[in-house]
Amino acid sequence: MKKSMVALLALSVVCIAFAAIFVKLSEAPASIISMYRMLFAGVLLSPIIFRYRRELLKPTVKEWWALMAAGLFLAMHFGFWFASLQLTSVASSTVILALQPLVAMVAAYLLYKEKVSTKMVTIVFISFFGVVLISWGDFSFTDLSAIFGNMLSFLGVTAVVAYFLIGQNTVRNLTHWVYSFLVFSIAGLFLLVYNIVTGTELFRYGPREWSFFLLLAILPTIAHVIFNYLLNELTPTTVSMAMLLEPVGASFLAYFILSESLTPLQVIGGLIVLSGVYFFLFNQHRERRNRTL
């Protein structure tokens, strides 16, 4: 791999790792943080969308319904995940979020009856055992908020998997940029409606909070732009494996910035989860390569 590719991968991982830190530092409600993260990301993509503006007329009625559903699940993903970060540790939340490819495999099996090898099933069970260890390491008879935070993080995983399944199987005639712009904007509007209905304050936040809202839109968006560029040079599996470094980077930053510590069970559970996801992606890549030979 070229040094420039490695540098871009490292930059993208750092950008995403900081997202959890900004959420943790923010004192705004999770639904507000999620809303502005989506709406500001949509605004940032607007100049690119102007180039593809004719595509905005392409979606059929059925595809618009799919876009609405995808936006709703994306809103739920960020709402659940950001709420989990306010209740549990950065390490626990981000590691559980890394289960996304395994949950996607289970969902594909249940919905589309896609074949799953015994090896893959074993990897899934081992990874979920790692999640149990993480939650056990967070367990306290006097404070169950961390356990609830872990549950919210897992709900965030299921929501983002639903978001990806809808996008991959329904909306096919849009570029990634237009699709992202639409679902980001729709997700932001869903969260706006939620905040209005629940009476959550929309605007009265200090400069510190607004800077977090903006940074949460900028850094992950930069990371996704880099990932999209790297997919032209690297395999999706390589990029996905690099994204597994996000929990490691986020935990490292949380240790120095937030003074968060890790229990031995959290460390062991995290290593099991990340190893499971790594072997899943590696095995998936090898199977795909064998099919093309």
What is the rounded CA–CA span in Å between residue 44 and residue 26? 21
Using CA atoms, how far residue 64 sits from 59, 182, 183, in Å, is 6, 10, 10
Q: What is the pLDDT of residue 143?
A: 67
Q: What is the pLDDT of residue 248?
A: 82
Least confident of 16-30, 49-63, 113-127: 113-127
How far, rounded to the nearest angstrom, does the alpha carbon of residue 84 sit from its chain's CA centroid?
A: 13
* Mean pLDDT, the chain, whole residue set: 84
Q: What is the pLDDT of residue 189?
A: 97
Residue range 158-201, pLDDT digits in tens = 998 888 888 766 666 788 788 889 999 999 999 999 999 999 99
What is the rounded CA–CA span in Å between residue 7 and residue 12? 9
Largest CA distance in the chain: 59
CB atoms within 10 A of CB 286: 11
Using CA atoms, how far residue 48 sits from 34, 67, 90, 112, 137, in Å, is 22, 19, 32, 34, 45
Residue range 232-252, pLDDT digits in tens = 676 665 666 667 778 888 888
**CB-based contacts of 198-207 (< 8 A; 24+ apart in sequence):** 198/31, 200/29, 200/31, 200/32, 201/32, 202/32, 205/28, 205/32
CB atoms within 10 A of CB 266: 21
